[in-house]
Amino acid sequence: MHLLAKRRIYITCILLTLVFGLLILRLGWVQIVQVNQTMPGFHRTVREMSVLQRERGVMLDPGRGQFTDYKGEALTGKLQWGLVLFPQASPLEKLRKQGALEGSEMVQLAAILHTDPDQLKKEWNQESIPHFWTAGTHQPVHLTAAQVERLRSLHLQGAGIYPMMTRYLQGHTGMQWMGYLAEQPESSKILTGHQDEVKQPFAMKAGAAGLERTLEPLLRGIGPTLVSRMVSGGGEIIPDIQPHVIAPANSHYPLRVETTVDAELQRGLEGLTQESGLQEGAIVVLDAANADVRAMISRPFYQPQHVDPKESAWGNRAVQGAVPGSIFKIVTAVAALEYHAVSNGEEFHCGGEYGRYGLSCWKEHGHGDLNLEQGFAESCNIVFAETARRLSMEQLENTADRLGLARPIGWEGKQMAGMPVLRHFDHEDHGRVRTEAVSSADEGAKIQTAIGQRDVLVTPLQAANLIVTLLHDGKVSAPRLVKRIRYADGGTMLEMPLHDSPSASGQIAPVTAHKLLSWMNKVVREGTGKSLQRARWHVAGKSGTAQVQKHGEKRNNQWFIGYGPVEQPQYAVAVLVQNVSPDSQHQATALFRKVMDYLAESS
């Protein structure tokens, strides 16, 4: 029995030795090896994360990738000075004991900041963590150069002047294609272990729309730049340790996204929409050579730094479907030529009323006798109704598909930079020719479809790209918003080459494309676009007016799509004016001319 007890004690000692040995090995692994390893999902080591948990700071730069236009002009990202307040405890008496501002210094500081000393004291001490001075606006106040110089002369205790990255450079803008950022509160907690660790202006935001959203995995970066102060175990800031800046050490980040947009042109056309009184609609300007987006404006404007998701202004109308009206007659005309539905020189008679389906021509007493080309120039509904009777709904759908309609046509790449699909246009509508509920045998629906009414939807991007398709002998291009992405040191991270967006049904014949371009020229010379003859460039295009309803009231969508100059096309343009009074003048044609004149003056 005595030997058995000794044996048990011996085995117990061995087991305890093994357990303590394993604990020592594990502790050594954590202290020596794992502490220098990067944590999964972060770009910081365990040692760095443990230090961050003992600090309180404010974010100076989220480290997010920035956007430029195609010439290199910055579209986002501007360094501006702000005042960071470092509260050391809530009671003002404790602040003074620890070396914070005296009363006279507070008065001087308030005078420089153009604020009331009591208001400054209140904001300084109402929170227990560092934060930018906001003057009660909840947004950091940007300091002028003169203010920065005067503040530095004060040698402040408990406050500091630091550069902060302001993301959006505009106020109200029509660049909804860029999108906006939304708060991600959980990411602040993950970063440092404290839910309120990082304060405004950039508390771990992520892309919620536009390129900000579609490129989020690339724009996210490898971590923010913070200015921090050490805290005690009780969470109070240690006054003897000065603030210090923590920044990622990687020359490759943040990335720089080179868009295809011309910033000067974008601003100029945004100004035109304001001068023209455009309330709702969009303008798309594509490079005629390759379908790159040079400008894309959506109205109403939005403020990317103040977005209410419940409102609609942040939505990009340039990629949202709208009833096209007579610009869809391009599709019907192409179908008639491709399927030989109309004989050369064949004439139709327009008396003003069609006599069926409630259809009439916009010209009260009709156009008389005219062929398809003349009917296109005059936008005659009767000619196109008769033409549609000779086509099937499937032929209209097939032709639309071959022209890049009723399907997404924006640039996309697969399996790029670790992303299954990389898209340039967020929430791009497909558009459509008809709904599933409409029978292909319904002649009335087919005729309404042929003139761009009924269920037809086209996006302004598709409409502008339709012009590029005709200019390229029927080959459908995929419009780009981004050319490439570069590292911070200038090296190329990702190229996004031009590519086409072909239809499974093939493309239209080049001779058909050339004929439609000629007909659009005739629209301006002899038809509904005669007012454009006074434009600076020789331009061509097609107008459209669609009957719609908004809140139960009859309204019109107005379109004009075209290109210029005719001799050597540089740009393809789509203008959409939405929800205007049925009695109003054709604002889209007038705005198209202004856009083309601006392009002519800028070229």
Residue 439 burial (C-beta neighbours within 10 Å; 0-12, 13-18, 19+): exposed
Q: Kindly state the tokens that stand for 333.
A: 């005309």
Instruction: Flag whether 188 is in a domain.
Output: yes
CATH number of 342's domain: 3.40.710.10
Q: Are residues 236 and 273 in the same domain?
A: no
CA distance 255 to 494: 10
Q: In terms of Cα–Cα distance, which of 80, 77, 97 is closest to 89? A: 97
Number of folded domains that form the chain: 2
- Residue 93 scores a pLDDT above 60: no
Q: 337 lies in which domain range?
A: 263-602
Beta strands of 487-592 (E only): which ranges? 492-495, 540-550, 553-564, 571-580
Alpha helices for 237-285 (secondary structure H): 263-275
3 state DSSP class of 333: helix
Burial 186-214 (b: 16+ CB within 10 A, else e): eebeebbebeebbbbbbbbbbbbbbbbbb
pLDDT greater than 70 at residue 302: yes
Q: Which of the two residues, 564 and 131, has the higher pLDDT score?
A: 564
Same domain, 470 and 532: yes
Residue 350 lies in a domain: yes
584: tokens are 């109003």
Environment class of 338 (CB within 10 Å of its CB; exposed 0-12, middle 13-18, buried 19+) = middle
Q: Please, which pLDDT band fits residue 32 given cuts at 50, 70 and 90?
A: low
Please tell me whether residues 292 and 219 are part of one structural domain.
no
pLDDT score for 118: 86
| Residue at 6 is within a domain | no
Whether residue 104 is found in the same domain as residue 199:
yes
* Token output for 49: 């994360």
Whether 157 is covered by a domain: the verdict is yes
Indicate the DSSP class of residue 303: -
Of the residues 259, 278, 301, the one at which a domain ends: 259
272, 255: one domain: no
| 25 within some domain | no
pLDDT tens digits, 400-451 = 999 999 999 999 999 998 899 999 999 999 999 999 988 888 999 999 999 9
| Residue 33: per-residue pLDDT | 58
Q: What is the pLDDT of residues 5-30, one digit of tens each?
A: 677 777 777 877 887 777 777 776 66
Asked whether the predicted pLDDT for residue 229 surpasses 80, the reply is no
- Residue 355 forms part of a structural domain: yes
DSSP string across 115-132: S-HHHHHHHHHSSSS-EE
Check pLDDT > 70 for residue 261.
yes
pLDDT interval class at 464 (50, 70, 90): very high
Give yes or no: residues 412 and 556 share one domain: yes
CA distance 590 to 588: 5
Q: Check whether residue 315 and residue 442 sit in a common domain.
A: yes
pLDDT digits (tens, 9 = 90+) for 518-564: 999 999 999 999 999 999 999 999 999 999 999 889 999 999 999 99
Is 539 part of a structural domain of the chain?
Answer: yes
pLDDT in tens, 139-185: 899 999 999 999 998 887 788 899 999 999 878 999 999 999 998 64
Instruction: Answer yes or no: are the C-beta atoms of 173 and 299 closer than 8 Å.
Output: no
Kindly state whether residues 202 and 285 are assigned to the same domain.
no
294 and 251, same domain (yes or no): no
Cα–Cα distance, 452 to 22 (Å, whole number): 77
Single out the residue in 205, 233, 259 at which a domain terminates. 259
- 242 and 110 within one domain: yes
Q: What SS3 state is found at 349?
A: strand
Q: Which of 244, 259, 274 is the last residue of a domain?
A: 259
Angle (CA) 302 304 309, round 5°: 75
C-alpha dist (Å) from residue 587 to 73, 110, 284, 545: 32, 52, 16, 10
Q: Are residues 132 and 245 located together in one domain of the fold?
A: yes
Indicate whether 316 and 360 sit together in one domain. yes
More confident residue, 153 or 395: 395
- pTM, two decimals, is 0.86
What is the CATH number for 216? Answer: 3.90.1310.10
Q: Examine residue 530 and state whether it is found in any structural domain, yes or no.
A: yes
CA distances from 96 to 57, 101, 103, 134, 349 (A): 21, 7, 9, 22, 93
**What pLDDT score does 37 carry?**
58
